[in-house]
Structure 1
Amino acid sequence: MTNKTNTDFTFVSKPEIVDHYAGKSASYGQLVWRRFLRNKGAVVSAIVLIVIALIAFLAPYLSQFSPTTPYPSQSNLAPGTSGHWFGTDNLGRDIFVRVAAGTSVSLRVALVAMAIDLVIGTSYGLISGYFGGKVDLFMQRITEILSTIPMIIIVTLLVLVMRPGLVSIITAMMIVGWINMSRIVRAQVLELKTREFVLSAKTMGEANSKIIFSQILPNALGQIITTFMLSVPNAIFLEAFLAFIGLGVPAPLASLGTMINDGYTQAIVYPYMVIFPVLFLALIMLSFNIIADGLRDALEGS
């Protein structure tokens, strides 16, 4: 038997493994935030919305002009005259301050609409979709009845009973404004409750409330947030439309809808009276829509 030395063998060299990862894993919220920041349109829209919000809530308090007090001696001034950046209306009121005050009304309506969607629409959709059967059938008949009543009829009836203003508009939204959200949430729940993780939670005997809030709601959150953001411009447009036809906030309070209504009759002679409120209304609605699209893409990982 011959002796073998080390030269008779060739050792296979193992490649050196280099760990290039030195950071911490990002959470789902951080990933969504990074994806959102990569969407330049959504970021710009968010900045525009923040600037408009600051103008809306600060300008009426920092300006020397009142949004409701008339100054007949300064009526129909062109933009930039005597310190009036957007000019004045036929009563001498500063249009910039009135646009800011009207924008704050629209944004408050938007926040209320989001809260209504969150509390009523989401809860209604979760209960209807999860329990199904007779519960779902009964709850869906209610939404079908309410959805057949036009919003304008509801608000008109409320105005006959209540004083025109934000309270009547908000009450109308509480009656029918949550229906679209409830339908979207219900559709998500109907799809999610057949997934394996929900079925396993039921098999393990977890309570229905825990399954809804710990298993189903987090997985439907992306669609819910997107619907929130898309409901905001609809609520703003509704308030402006109702104010335009005389069912909004009463005079002399400022609203984008009332300013458009006051300005369009003089648009040929004084176009700036209608241009600026229309511009702010368009920017708000467009910004919310672009932000909603950006959030949807970020939540879906695209």
Structure 2
Amino acid sequence: MNTLADTASPDSADTGSSLWQDAWIRLRRNKPAVGGAYVLLFLIVISLLTPWIAPYDYEVQNLDLGASPPSAQHWLGTDVFGRDLLTQIMYGGRVSLMVGFIATAVALLIGVTWGAVAGYVGGRLDAAMMRIVDILYALPFMIFIVLLMVVFGRNILLLFLAIGAVEWLTMARIMRSQVQSLRQQEFVEAAISLGLSQSAIIRRHVVPNALGPIIVYTTLTIPSVMLLEAFLSFLGLGIQPPKTSWGLLISFGAETMEEYPWLLIFPGLALTVTLFSLNFLGDGLRDALDVRGSKD
């Protein structure tokens, strides 16, 4: 005689898993993505703990020591001012990662809001909003950032906002296309029939169901933002001393690369490892959240 547990077992075997559960399983199987996540987590932890674990004070100079190659006292050597390069890289990582995450958050806030409203409301408002996006796309973003820096001065907070203000355009287009495909779904029609306002539907139902592309784009935007900051610092338009970033260290290292190659190699390696980790994680998330992949 079959027991209740035996009767229930076929049903439990057929119980499906959610999209997020399937995505998590596929992501864990992607070794480059998992490795990238671990490396990124390690770098974030090191950046947060830098003031307590850095071997030296990053502002203290030793002109008598000058630029020296890696040694037992200074594992990655020192710069032309006698400052420990490992300490400089650790503090530079704090700024570079901060720029990457905060500027990306600004870009997502603007892009998701803009694209969600344009895609859901549609009509003339959608056309007007997306024409603005097209116009901004046509403007050279570098000139826009330079103008902001010239008008408002060089400030690290302004740098976050300036980079975020030019990186939201692609997110707005992605979000608009996602919302246009979601607004015809049954759960949106049910929310409308319940009398929810447009803002509530967008906030509670539309945006949460578009989180997959948002998460993927976030991981791919952070390295783009960090490269932009490095390029601006290389041109002298980004982080200014005494603060430092990986881009600024690379800029200084490029000026003396023939005499002191370690000043370019180690900051460049730190930035490269971070960018590779973010790209591996982004690619892994893109594959894991691909609905077509769940059918394989």
Q: What amino acid does structure 2 have at the position aligned with 1:270? A: Y
> What SS class does the counterpart of residue 64 from structure 2 fall into?
helix
Verify: 1:73 aligned to 2:67, yes or no.
no
Aligned residue identity for 2:32: G
The amino acid of 2:63's aligned partner reads P
Deviation at 1:221, TM superposition (A): 1.2
Which whole-Å CA distance do the structure 2 matches of 1:43 and 1:179 have between them?
A: 29
| Match 1:63 to one of 48, 51, 54 | 54
Structure (1 or 2) with the greater helix fraction:
2
Aligned to 1:213: 203
Measured after TM superposition, the shift of residue 299 of structure 1 is: 1.9
Q: Distance in 2 between matches of 1:202 and 1:40?
A: 43
Tell me the alpha carbon deviations over residues 26-79 of structure 1, each in whole angstroms, 9 at most, x when there is no partner: 554443323221111111111111222222232343234122221112211111
Q: Counterpart in 2 of 1:110?
A: 100
Give distance in 2, aligned partners of 1:135 and 1:69: 56
Q: Give 3-state SS (helix, strand or coil) of 1:59's partner.
A: helix
List gaps (5 residues or longer) in structure 2: 1-5
Amino acid at match of 1:297: D
- Alignment check: 8 A CA contact 2:67 2:77 kept: yes
Looking at structure 2, the residues matched to 228 and 251 of structure 1 have their Cα atoms a distance apart, in angstroms, of: 29
**Which of the numbers 251, 268, 278 marks the counterpart of 1:288?**
278
The runs of 5 or more residues in structure 1 that have no matched partner are 1-15
> Are 1:256 and 2:220 counterparts?
no
| SS of alignment partner, residue 140 of structure 1 | helix
List structure 1 runs of 4+ shifted beyond 3 angstroms.
20-31, 195-207
Within a 5 Å distance, the mapping from 1:126-165 to structure 2 comes to 126-165=116-155
CA–CA separation in structure 1 for the residues paired with 2:180 and 2:208? 14
1:42–1:291 Cα contact (<8 Å) kept: yes
Distance 1:267 1:60, change over 3 A: farther
The superposition leaves residues 129-148 of structure 1 with CA deviations (integer Å, 9 ceiling, x where unpaired) of: 10011111111122222222
Judged with a 3 Å threshold, the aligned counterparts in structure 2 of structure 1 residues 137 and 281 are, in CA distance, closer, same or farther, namely: same
Tell me which residue corresponds to 1:42: 33
Cα deviation code 1:60-108 (max 9, x no counterpart): 43234122221112211111x2521110011101111111111111111
CA contact (8 A) 1:259 1:277 kept: yes
Q: Return closer, same or farther for 1:70/1:27 CA change in 2, 3 Å cut-off.
A: same
Q: Is contact 1:60–1:67 with CA below 8 Å preserved after alignment?
A: no
Shift of 1:231: 0.8
For the residues of structure 1 that align with 2:50 and 2:132, how far apart are their CA atoms? 43
Letter in 2 for 1:62: I
Contact persistence 2:106–2:165 (CA under 8 A): no
- C-alpha distance in 2 between matches for 1:39 and 1:107: 24
Q: TM-score, normalised by structure 1?
A: 0.86
Q: Which has the larger radius of gyration?
A: 1
Q: Does 2:202 match 1:192?
A: no
Counterpart contact for 1:130–1:190, Cα < 8 Å: yes
Structure 1 counterpart of 2:3 = none
Which stretch has the larger CA shift, 110-119 or 123-132?
110-119
Aligned residues: 286
